[in-house]
A = this chain, B = another copy of it.
């Protein structure tokens, strides 16, 4: 299903809910490591770092040192073209890993901006890499996470290249809904952390089109919009919009 393409899977909650301190274990790399390996991992990870809303976790051009696991919060990632146009490449929430684009060149290639007060764990890549050499499960997990990012990106390409405004918005809302659900939040009522303009940038639309389309969905009884609060009234109709997007 189209709306699944960009979804990141997470480990079931029961596997990570018991941990209270920041660690890879409970977040992005919750794999079957033995206690000893776990300890090595924990030793690498620095204490959770708070990022205030509006602050940058990193910016394009900065030297790459670490990946970041989002402990709590919400980020946007975006590339800025030389002429100043912003393309939001993704929205990221708790349990997700950011910064993988920087591995290739040792410099960050996008900005990561907190859209709400957040906390991240810093994972020094050199050390993670070294440990991964000794811990096959960790190594494999890193490959999987990167691969998942590639798959997600392909889903966005499909969206940008083939879908029309309503389909894009429907896919976007359903994707957010699912990701909130996975994290134990309501899938039918949630707060958008980003502006209409940022949604538009992500979806390849202008903010006016985003606004109009949300209003239209509301008029059709699919959702209820109160500024940034979204209530999904009729998710099936949204899903139908997606499967209806016949190209033939």
Contact = CB atoms under 8 A, between A and B. Distances in A.
A103 B139 contact: no
A227 interface: no
Contacts of A110: 154
A147 B99 CA distance: 9
What's the dominant secondary structure at chain A's contact region?
A: helix
Contacts of A1: 82
A57 to B, nearest CB: 16
A81 interface: yes
B133 A83 contact: no
Nearest to A5: B79
Contacts of A104: 144-145, 147-148, 150-151
A203 B148 CA distance: 23
Contacts of A149: 150
Interface in A131-177: 132-134, 136, 139-140, 142-151, 153-158, 160-162
Nearest to A77: B154
B161 A204 contact: yes
Nearest to A149: B150
Given A81-B162, A87-B157, A87-B158, 4 more contacts: A79-B157, A100-B147, A104-B147, A133-B136
